[in-house]
Chains A and B, each alone.
Chain A
Amino acid sequence: MSRRRQRPSESSLALSFIDTISGGFGAAFFLFLIFASMPFEDSAAVGGASRFMEVWLRWKSAADLMGITLEHESGVRIRLTSKDFVIDPFTGKLAPKIDKPLWRSAQVNGFSWFGEAGMQNGAEASTRLRLADPCPGKWRITATLHSHLAGEAWLAQPVAVPYYATARVFDGVSRNSDYSVPWKDISPGVTDVLNWETAAGVSSEIDVLAPPRQKLTYCPTPSKPS
């Protein structure tokens, strides 16, 4: 007796192998587009925000170098060294080797430890740091004079160098704050905390406001007041 398999009646919902493959690819692509268009950490802020903080340090000596250090109110202290950062010599883009560098992207010019000398303009030299989307909070900035003395000058009395600093913070909406440190002298090896003069008075801190309706995922969570 021959075995006969009972074939199911043809259904309009039946899928052929080709239907399955084709539908599968279509659906997979569709789902991929949904996943890919979700807001992720890196792409969320690209080009969308215009908050920035820019710091200029200018000094009257082409032979000396000055550097800055950033301290955020969260306790994070950042020195712009080749250990923690890499600079693109063509664009000045600062690529961090550390996690969460407290900003979305940064550009620098005239930092000696990246193989550059300070930027030169006649007898003046300068360094510049521009941070895009810096973390909100209070920032303290210090400046240090690194002198490259000639051999015969090692035993001579260190010569102070006059410098001044400016900073501009734009909150991305309307407020544009300018800070400045008037000319003052600094000796080799000395680190100064920059005391900024603003329209509201003198302060050792730069106040960066939080962006409206945007969470910066790379920023430390603010500590709750005890």
Chain B
Amino acid sequence: MSFDQPDNPFFLSFTDVLTCVLGGSISLFLIFVTLVKLVPAEQSSQASAGVDQRAGILRALEREKTAGASAATLQLVSESCETINSIAVENAEIWSLTSVGPKGETLCGRLIVFAAGLPSSTTPIKSDFMPSRPIWITLTVGASVWSRPVVIDADAFRQMGALLTIVPSAQVLNTATSEVLRPLADEPAQ
């Protein structure tokens, strides 16, 4: 028995193929759309949205130059309250935040407001103490928000003398970690 016999149960007509393809594509589409919809907002495809967010921030910065739509904030939140409470930044308004985490832990935070937009020169975010817990960094420029938890490296922290540095010329947030964050650049994070 071979496949080319008409009574072969595996024989598919052209119409069968078309039907299967359409059905398969709709199934795949529904599966992916459902997956995307069901994922909580906090975890929603950070990787794929990251490029869009960076592009949004870059566009917002471009508009900031032309239209004066400056409204940039940098929020740092961590369980390492000693570190957060000793944060110092030049030429910025700093508000202190306290909140409770999902497990009931006390979170300390600082909202650093750059009233005239993101600084045009290199600006360090200094602290006196090395954090023992990750720090959530949330950069907001215009309507674009970029957030990421980072684990500060002790050696890098001592070397830099700061938790992170805003480097506008290189369009990066240079953190005291092994990685360089690129929320300001229209390219994938490295």
Question: Residues of A with Cβ closer than 8 Å to B?
Answer: 5, 7, 14-17, 20, 23-25, 27-32, 35-36, 40, 46-52, 54, 88-93, 95, 104-105, 107, 109-110, 114-117, 119-121, 126, 128, 130, 132-133, 168, 170, 172-176
Contact = CB atoms under 8 A, between A and B. Distances in A.
Contacts of A175: 67
Given A17-B10, A29-B28, A173-B67, 17 more contacts: A5-B6, A20-B12, A25-B24, A27-B25, A31-B29, A35-B26, A36-B29, A46-B52, A47-B54, A48-B52, A48-B56, A90-B101, A91-B42, A91-B138, A109-B95, A119-B97, A170-B143
Interface of B: 3-6, 10, 12, 14, 17, 20-22, 24-26, 28-29, 32-33, 41-42, 49, 52-56, 59-60, 63, 66-69, 71, 73, 75, 77, 93-102, 107, 111, 136, 138, 140, 142-145, 147, 149
B56 A47 contact: yes
Contact of A47 (B4, B55, B98): B55
B97 A88 contact: no
Given A15-B12, A109-B75, A133-B143, A23 B17 contact: yes
Contacts, number: 156
B49 A46 contact: yes
B10 to A, nearest CB: 5
The 3 closest A-B pairs by CB, nearest first: A47-B52, A47-B56, A31-B25
A28 B21 contact: yes
Contact of A90 (B17, B69, B149): B149
Given A16-B3, A35-B29, A92 B12 contact: no
Contacts of A176: 67-69
Contacts of B17: 15, 20, 23-24
A63 to B, nearest CB: 14
Nearest to B51: A47
Contact of A51 (B26, B98, B143): B143
Nearest to A168: B71
A134 to B, nearest CB: 9
A104 B75 CA distance: 20
A23 B20 CA distance: 11
B28 to A, nearest CB: 5
Contact of B95 (A5, A51, A126, A172): A126
B166 to A, nearest CB: 18
Contacts of B97: 109-110, 116, 119
